[in-house]
């Protein structure tokens, strides 16, 4: 009787082991079934706009026998330049640098001192020629710029982002159709970052009634995104 019980227990153990080995992994099968197919594509969106702001730099360099005299003369010159810039419509004026250094003659001997001062200013593109002329008339002998930009740069970039997503969807639809599938919902979007506006060098009409004509042309603002779609 004891031998029969032992054999029965052993048989049950074998059956249990066989069941453990032979049963399918239902949890794994469910996970696989719940994992949807997807496709990831990139999209590029661009927006063209004529810049409406100009950033420029205006400065003066003065030379005098002594450092003190050079600095004083330079300060007088910069006060005239700054006043002229404000009257011509310049805004956001800010000092960029001030420097004083000796200059030498052919024998390497100090022959005096040079003082320099530079200020940046922003204006509407239409006012930029007047700003340049006013600064030059006031004594500016160091002028650089203009750097052109759009005051609504963030809004332009958001428009470019929307176009980038639209392009990504169009590309994904083509790929899905080629594979005999259709697009589902968006599951992920990754923004690749903004791209600095690029000049397109297309002329924009502008009255040239100043001695310093400036033609802003157009700038292209672009954005890139990576979009993942589920597939049906």
pLDDT tens-digit readout, 34-48: 446 899 999 999 999
Place of tokens 């992994």: 25
Q: Do the beta carbons of residue 142 and residue 118 sit within 8 Å?
A: yes
Residue 220 CA to residue 22 CA, distance in Å, equals 64
Helix (H, G, I), strand (E, B) or coil at 112: strand
Backbone φ/ψ region at 28: left (φ over 0), alpha (ψ -120 to 50), beta? alpha
Chain segment 128-162, per-residue pLDDT in tens: 999 999 999 999 999 998 888 898 889 999 999 99
> The tokens of 132 are what?
């340049």
DSSP per-residue letters across 70-107: HHHHHHHHHHHHHHHHHHTT-EEEEEEEEEEEEEE-TT
8 Å CB contact between 56 and 146 = yes
pLDDT of 19: 43
Rounded-to-integer distance, Cα 1 and Cα 129, Å? 114
* Ranges 25-34, 57-66, 74-83, 142-151: which has the least confidence: 25-34
CA distances 86 to 74, 79, 123, 141, 159, Å, are: 18, 11, 10, 18, 34
Backbone angles phi, psi at 207, to 5 degrees: -70, 130
Q: Within 10 Å of residue 226's Cβ, how many Cβ atoms?
A: 15
Sequence spans of domains, the chain: 36-50+152-231, 53-149
Fold of 53-149: Alpha-Beta Plaits (3.30.70)
145 Ramachandran zone, left/alpha/beta (phi>0; psi -120 to 50): left
CATH class assigned to 36-50+152-231: alpha beta
Residue 101 has what pLDDT? Answer: 92
């Amino acid at each position: 009787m004891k031998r029969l019980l032992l054999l029965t227990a052993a048989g049950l153990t074998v059956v249990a082991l066989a069941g453990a080995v032979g049963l399918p992994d239902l949890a794994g099968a469910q996970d696989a079934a719940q994992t949807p197919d997807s496709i990831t594509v990139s999209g590029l969106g661009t927006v063209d706009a004529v810049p409406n702001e100009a950033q420029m730099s205006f400065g003066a360099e003065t030379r005098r026998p002594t450092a003190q005299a050079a600095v004083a003369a330079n300060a007088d010159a910069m006060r005239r330049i700054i006043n002229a810039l404000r009257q011509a419509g310049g805004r956001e004026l800010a000092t960029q640098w001030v420097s004083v250094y000796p200059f030498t003659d052919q024998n390497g001997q100090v022959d005096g001192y040079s003082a320099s001062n530079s200020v940046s200013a922003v204006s509407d593109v239409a006012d930029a020629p007047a700003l340049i002329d006013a600064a030059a008339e006031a004594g500016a002998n160091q002028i650089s710029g203009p750097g052109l930009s759009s005051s609504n740069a963030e809004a332009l970039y958001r428009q470019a982002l929307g176009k980038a997503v639209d392009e990504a969807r169009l590309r994904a639809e083509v790929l899905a159709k080629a594979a005999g599938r259709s697009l589902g919902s968006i599951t992920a979007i990754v923004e690749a970052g903004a791209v600095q506006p690029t000049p397109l060098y297309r002329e924009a009409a502008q009255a040239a009634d100043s001695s310093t004509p400036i033609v802003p042309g157009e700038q292209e603002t672009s954005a890139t995104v990576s979009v993942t779609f589920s597939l049906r």
